[in-house]
Structure 1
Amino acid sequence: MAPCTQDFLLNMENMTLEQVKTRLDEIETEELPYKVPTFIFLASLLICGIPGNIIVCFVYKFNFPSGPSKSFILGLALFDLQVCFIGVPFEIVDLKTDYFLNIPWLCKIVRFSNTLASAASVLTLLVIAVYRYKKICLPFKKQITMKEVRYAFIGVGISALFISWPALVFYGNQTKTIGGYETTDCSFDNVFMGTFYPQLYQVFLGVLCFIMIGILVVLYTLIVIQIIRQKRRGRALGSHSGTLGSRLDLTEDTKHKPPSGLRKGSKALSASTLSIGGEVRCATLERKQAKHVKRSQTTIMMLLVTLAFIVSYMPHVLLQMTRRLDSGFEARVHCNKSASAAYKLFLRSFFLNSAINPIIYGFYNTRFRNECKRLLVRLLHIRNAKVQVSTASSD
């Protein structure tokens, strides 16, 4: 243990239990200012995450056509809502109370819920990556159908349950005795303290997360390379389309010369036919390019969602693995108030993933942004109508 922690314990050895409890209350109060950044972070996630994900669910459910992408986005939004409603509020309480949180059953449920939602999210992102890979890199192969999407979600649910059920067993009350007073916290249960099972479970989750992230990085790297190739090919086709059309017109005029008596009318007919053919070719090319652009935009949007997941989870996973593999890590961090404040914040970095997706959709998906504006206008109209009715009835 670090010297400051030793002093902290020694200073309480000659106190009564009531004095120890009072001192622990004072320590929690003294440390509150260093927790303010984390409180602001979690409160911001609640303010943005709950309404944002509800809007995503409503808009995509009622304003977007059925398809795999819609199902995937709705699934992610529901997992994020689960974290916002259950995980974040409990984490605010847990952050405030370092020594007196004694609700073991709620601790088990929340830790299980967070692990379940996290596992389901990363597995859904993996399915999305496979779907986008087939769309972009293998467009002429058999694509994922809605029936297969339903099977994929069943697989995601079963796999997430398999990954997260140990949390119901391992988590609970962890008690420590300070100056003769028994403190409690939501962590691995006392039953498993001194065993290797909690560390093994944390390492398992960390390794699994790194494997999933590695697969996602490989798939999206291949996808981005293919998108760049398609854009280059599209620019090349666009630059040569005019030249190709003029060459075809010239060839048609010179190869098939009509008889002298019908030359004028035939030339007019040939020019008209070639003009229509050129327009059809251009329209077809434009439709293909628009389809490629839309597909690429959706893929890039899901890539940003995946990057947001990776960026938000990496600090949490690295800190969790470090604290489990190094028993003195938390004590050393606690001796430095600034380091302790940063530790408390980044240990909860993964909650960012539960609120950031609606912001990504709003910035990158024009249709989603427009539908949100229409929804806001309708809500304002309804509110104004209610106000007018209320005013009229009062008059």
Structure 2
Amino acid sequence: MEETTAFVVFKFKEVNYSSILAASHLNTSTSMPVTSTSLGDFEYNEFIRRWFEFSFMICLSLIGSVGNVHTILVYVRVKDMHERFHVRTLVTWLSVVDLITCLVVMPFETVTIRLNHSMTSNALCKLARYIGHTTITSSWLILTVIAHERYRKIYSTLLGTYSGPCSCRKLISWMRLKSTSFKHRLICTLVIISSLLISIPIFVIIGIEQVEIKSTLLNGTQCTTLKQYRSILSAGLYSGMIGMFGLLCFIYCAYRYWKILQLIHKQYEKEKRRKADCSEMKHNAEEEQPFNSGCCNIGRYKVTVSLIIATGLSFCSFILFTIGIAIVMSDSPLKNHTSNAVLMRSLFINNAFNPVSYFIFDDKFRCACRKLYMKQK
């Protein structure tokens, strides 16, 4: 009787232990039970792992939204800023483009971090990515136009020359009859249309793709490049062309701003020599007047300095994004690391921090911000 009872108990334990192993899906490589998880639990764990990336995007969206709204209001409502008609329209359009990025594109990218494997709307995926590519391309082009306008304006003011093209004389004559604001609105409109056309392939190569989560037995859906377009001749070629286009824009901006800085430096050296001459002739008060006037002229270029900083910031964010893309394409161990995820999001830095550069490096912009809140026009 006791032997029978012992045999039954042993058999029950064996069957029970076998059922536990079967339910837990024993992993033969680690000899540890792997419990099954739902898609929601997996996404939540991924969200916890990517909390820094999520917080980074939230901060960029908030800073960019507040900053670009202030920039638009300052240039539209404060009369002191109307004197900057050579950059007023361009900076306003640039801020509108950056604001769209901060209010539409960044929130969508933030949602994809939280619901990385649960995106189901193909139309929303395509539209958000299309808007993102359009605004980023428009930002590059407007920064390039600003660099050209600054170069043309400063050279024509300081040297008395016009650095414009010699061809298409009828078009140039017609443009010269128009106001600067009209010219810039026309140019920005053409920039937006060009960016919309350049970004059309996004509707084809981007969409909702079903993916298999390797660490689990689950399947999810992502807003990403479709499998049939992940070759070098399709998405790779398009990305390379966009990257080369952006690099050419920044090279042109660097050349123009370098020429501007050279000219400003020459003017600054002339003013220093004039100051030295004035200090030797203190007894003659009339000789001090030219130097004081020259100092005021040098101070007017602070808006150009702030725009140079904004362009440099855009270029740095472009380089960081390129590094992130290179890490992903090379299938490096850092591919899924948090630092690389931040590099991939760094393309949005300039959209958020352009107004910050205006506020830090431009005294007149800071004064206009105070007047905006004090209701002083």
TM-score bracket, shorter-length normalisation: 0.7 to 0.9
> Hey, what does 2:255 align to over in structure 1?
218
> Any conservation in 2 of the 1:45–1:352 contact (CA below 8 Å)?
yes
Q: 1:91 aligns with which of 109, 133, 143?
A: 109
Give the percent of matched residue pairs that are identical in Structure 1 and Structure 2: 23
Structure-2 separation of matches of 1:222 and 1:375: 34
Q: State the partner residue of 1:333.
A: 334
TM-score (norm 1): 0.74
For 1:39, the equivalent position in structure 2 comes to 54
* Partners of 2:346 and 2:232 in 1: CA distance: 27
Letter in 2 for 1:333: L
How much does 1:221 deviate? 1.8
The match for 1:150 among 185, 194, 208 is 185
Higher helix share: 1
CA distance in structure 1 between the partners assigned to 2:226 and 2:353 by the alignment: 32
- 1:47 to partner: Cα distance: 2.1
Alignment of 1:122 onto 2:140: yes
Q: Report Cα offsets for 1:86-127 as digits up to 9, x if no partner.
A: 111111110112222122111111111111111111111111
Give the secondary structure class of the aligned counterpart of 2:161.
coil
Alpha-carbon distance in 2 for matches of 1:305, 1:29: 36
2:10 corresponds to? none
Indicate if the aligned counterparts of 2:65 and 2:102 stay in contact, CA closer than 8 A. Answer: yes
Q: CA RMSD in A?
A: 2.8
Matched, 1:355 2:372: no
Identify the residue that residue 309 of structure 2 maps to in structure 1: 304
- 1:51 equivalenced with 2:66 (yes/no): yes
Distance between the aligned counterparts of 1:292 and 1:233, measured in 2? Answer: 11
Residue 235 (structure 1) aligned with residue 272 (structure 2): yes
Q: Note if contact 2:303-2:358 (Cα within 8 Å) is conserved in structure 1.
A: no
Match of 1:167 among 202, 213, 219: 202
User: For residue 62 of structure 2, what is the amino acid of its counterpart?
Assistant: I
User: CA separation of 1:163/1:244 partners in 2, compared to 1, >3 Å: closer, same or farther?
Assistant: farther
- Give the unaligned 5+ runs of structure 2: 1-25, 28-34, 165-179
Q: Which one of the candidate residues 285, 289, 309 is aligned to 1:283? A: 289
**Which residue in the other structure is 2:82 paired with?**
65
CA–CA distance in structure 2, aligned partners of residues 231 and 195 of structure 1: 50
Runs of 4+ in 1 over 6 A off after TM superposition: none
Between the aligned partners of 2:366 and 2:181, the Cα distance in structure 1 is 25
Q: Does 1:368 align with 2:368?
A: no
**For residue 165 of structure 1, what is the amino acid of its counterpart?**
I
TM-superposed CA distance for 1:360, in Å, is: 1.5
Post-superposition offset of 1:195:
7.1
- Unpaired runs of at least 5, structure 1: 1-9, 12-18, 247-274, 380-395
The alignment partner of 1:176 has SS state of: strand
Q: 1:39 to 1:48 in 2, by over 3 A?
A: same
Q: What letter is aligned with 1:211?
A: L
Give a deviation string over 1:310-330, Cα, whole Å, max 9, x none. 122211133235534x3x34x
Query: Does the CA contact (< 8 Å) of 2:317 and 2:347 recur in 1?
Result: yes
Question: Judging changes above 3 Å, is the alpha-carbon distance between structure 1 residues 136 and 124 closer, same or farther for their aligned structure 2 residues?
Answer: same
The alpha carbon displacement at 1:168 in A equals 2.0
Q: Which residue pairs with 1:319 in the alignment?
A: 324
SS at match of 1:98: coil
Is the Cα contact below 8 Å between 1:202 and 1:321 reproduced in 2?
no
